[in-house]
Amino acid sequence: MKWPSARRLRFVAIVLAVAAFYAASWHLAQVSPAKLATGLPKMVSWARKAWPPATDELSVLLRRAAETVAMAAIGTTAAALLALPVCALAARNVTPSLAVYYPIRWLLNGLRGIDSFVFALLFVPRWGSDPSRACWAWRSTPGAAPPSSGPRRSRTSRPARSKRPRPPGPRG
């Protein structure tokens, strides 16, 4: 009897591990094909109701879309205006004091790590979800900086200076 190769055993082990993962996920999620089958007619009826789209409330839909665009424009502009002085303090060539530079950089790095959804969770209970209140909430978001205009380079990735050859001639 010939034993299977190590490659084939590894493949079978991976397939079994993936199958065990999906079996455990199926059990943990309590997936029920019977419930899915009973819910399919509801999903089909919702899809039928959605097409063709109702145009009787088109003016309301367009108004809400315009409010969304207005909120985005005002919030982005306000955040960019607030971010300019913060960005200037975070630039090493503009801020000579390391006591200012590093705390601002740490603040910006921390804010960059927080997803905007977390900000929404913080601001909606405080100011509500009204469009004008949402604009004020985004205005008060610290550290919302505009995207950089080019690729980032670290201090060590500067191009090396070329050494020009000296012209031939007598040295004095």
Give the model confidence (pLDDT) of 117-134 as tens digits.
776 777 777 666 665 555
Measure the CA–CA gap between 52 and 55, rounded to whole angstroms. Answer: 9
Whole-number average pLDDT of the chain: 76
Spell out a b/e string for 119-140, using b for 16 or more CB atoms within 10 Å of the CB, else e: eeeebeeebeeeeeebbebbee
* Sign of the alpha-carbon dihedral angle for 17, 22, 26, 29: positive
Q: Given this model, what pLDDT does residue 36 score?
A: 81
Q: Given this model, what pLDDT does residue 150 score?
A: 42
Measure the CA–CA gap between 63 and 50, rounded to whole angstroms. Answer: 20
Cβ neighbourhood burial of 78 (10 Å; 0-12, 13-18, 19+): middle
Q: Examine the pLDDT at 143 and tell me if it is beyond 70.
A: no
Q: Examine the pLDDT at 46 and tell me if it is beyond 80.
A: yes
Q: Examine the pLDDT at 155 and tell me if it is beyond 50.
A: no
Measure the CA–CA gap between 167 and 103, rounded to whole angstroms. Answer: 49
4 φ, ψ (degrees, to nearest 5): -65, 155
Q: For residues 18 and 57, which has the higher predicted lDDT (pLDDT)?
A: 18
Whether the CB-CB separation of 108 and 86 falls below 8 Å is answered with yes
SS3 92: coil
Confidence of residue 148 (pLDDT cuts 50, 70, 90): very low
Q: Examine the pLDDT at 37 and tell me if it is beyond 90.
A: no
Q: Which two tokens stand for residue 123?
A: 């601001």
Q: Given this model, what pLDDT does residue 51 score?
A: 80
Find the range with the poorest average confidence among 48-52, 65-69, 154-158.
154-158
